[in-house]
Amino acid sequence: MTSTIQQRRESIMSHVYRLGHVSVRQLADDLAVSEATVRRDLHGLATEGLLELTHGGASVVRNSDYSFISKSMRNVNAKQIIAKMACELVSDGQQLFLDSGTTCFAMTAYLRTKRGLSVIVNSIRTAQELQSPGVSVLLLGGQYRPDRMDTVGPIAFEVLERFRGYRAFLGADGLGRDFGLTSVDIDSASIFTQAARNARECILLADSSKFDHPSLYKITDFQPISTIITEIEPSQEWMSFFDDQHVNVLYPKESSDTPNLQE
C-alpha cells in the first residue's frame, strides 16, 4: 500500500471514529478525491474489519477496540511538534528504540531521511513507515495484537533483552511526579520498562495532556530519563521537579520555531 493510500485511509478512519458515521459524498469532498476512490477505500477498510459499510457510507464497527486510532487523533499538532524536535536529536548512524505509541510513530516521517540508522521497534506500523534505504529496522517478535499492530509478551521481552547501547524514545499515557511514566496497558508497560532499563539514554516524548494524569501501570521513574520533549513549557512545579531530577526540558519557544533547552 502506498503512503498516499495509507494516509487517505487513516484520514477516513479519523472521520469515522470522530463522527461515528460518514457518507461517501462527505468523504470525497473532505479528501478532494472522487467518490469511486472513497468507495474503494471503504470496501478495503471494511474487508479488514475496521469499519462497517452502510447505505451511502460507513460506520464505526461496534464492540471494536480503536485504541491506536483513538490515541492518534488526540493532540495531533502537539505530537508533530514533539516528533520533529525529537528527530533533530538523532544523527546518522545511531541505534534507536522507538516505542509503539502514536508520538513515536510520528517520528517516522522525519527519520526516513537519516542514513545508517538501526531502529528497534515492536510496532508493525512503525516498521512499515520506516522503510527507507538508510534505515535498518529490527522488529521484535512475540504475541501479535491486531488492534494495535504491535508485539508484546515474553518472546518480545526476551529478544529485547539481547540489545544494549541504543537511545530509547519513549512515550507515556500519563505522568506523575511520584510515580513516573505510566501506561494504561500492562503488556506495553513491561516492554517499555525493559527498553528503558537496557538503553544508554532515554528520551521522553509527552504532550502537555499527560502531565499530572498517571495511568495504572508504571513504566519507569524519571531516573533514567535524560530529556523530556513537550509542546509547551511545563508548569513551574514540573520545571522545578525536572531540575531536581536533572532532566533537560525541550519545548518550542513562543516567539519562534527554535527549540528551547532548559538545563
User: Could you report the per-residue pLDDT of 121-166, keeping only the tens digit for each?
Assistant: 999 999 999 999 999 999 999 999 877 889 999 999 999 999 999 9
- Bridge partner residues of 251 (DSSP): 260
- Check if the beta carbon of residue 104 is closer than 8 Å to that of residue 98: yes
Residue 62 pLDDT grade (very low, low, confident, very high; cuts 50, 70, 90) = low
- What per-residue confidence (pLDDT) applies to 148? 81
Tell me the pLDDT of the chain averaged across its residues. 88
Region 46-60: mean pLDDT is 83
pLDDT, position 149: 85
Residue 263 has pLDDT above 60, yes or no: no
Give yes or no for residue 85 having a pLDDT over 90.
yes
Predicted pLDDT of residue 10: 77
Q: What pLDDT, on the 0 to 100 scale, is given for residue 65?
A: 46
Q: Which percentage of the chain shows pLDDT scores above 90?
A: 68
For 90-112, what is each residue's pLDDT tens digit? 999 999 999 999 899 999 999 99
The confidence score (pLDDT) of residue 92 equals 97
Q: What is the pLDDT of residue 69?
A: 54
Give the C-alpha separation, 227 to 167, whole Å: 11
Lowest mean pLDDT among 5-19, 203-217, 230-244: 5-19
* Residue matched to cell numbers 517520528: 107
Placement of cell 509547551 in the chain: 232
pLDDT computed for residue 254 by the predictor: 63
Sign, CA dihedral 71-77-78-79, equals positive
Greater confidence (114 vs 147) lies with 114
Average pLDDT over residues 223-245: 97
Confirm if 42 and 24 have CB atoms less than 8 A apart.
yes
Q: Is the pLDDT of residue 176 over 90?
A: yes
DSSP code string of 51-74: EEEETTEEEEPTT---HHHHHHTS
Q: Which residue has the higher pLDDT, 168 or 22?
A: 168
42 contacts 53 by C-beta, under 8 angstroms: yes
- Residue 19's SS3 state is helix
Residue 172 pLDDT > 90: yes
Contact 24, 54 (CB under 8 A): no
Residue found by looking up cell 532548559 in the block = 262
Q: Hey, what's the torsion of the CAs at 79, 215, 70, 209, to 10 degrees?
A: -40
What is the mean pLDDT of the segment spanning 31-38? 93
Is residue 259's pLDDT more than 60?
no
DSSP run (H or E) holding 2 = none
CA distances 80 to 6, 84, 137, 205, 230, Å, are 18, 6, 22, 11, 10
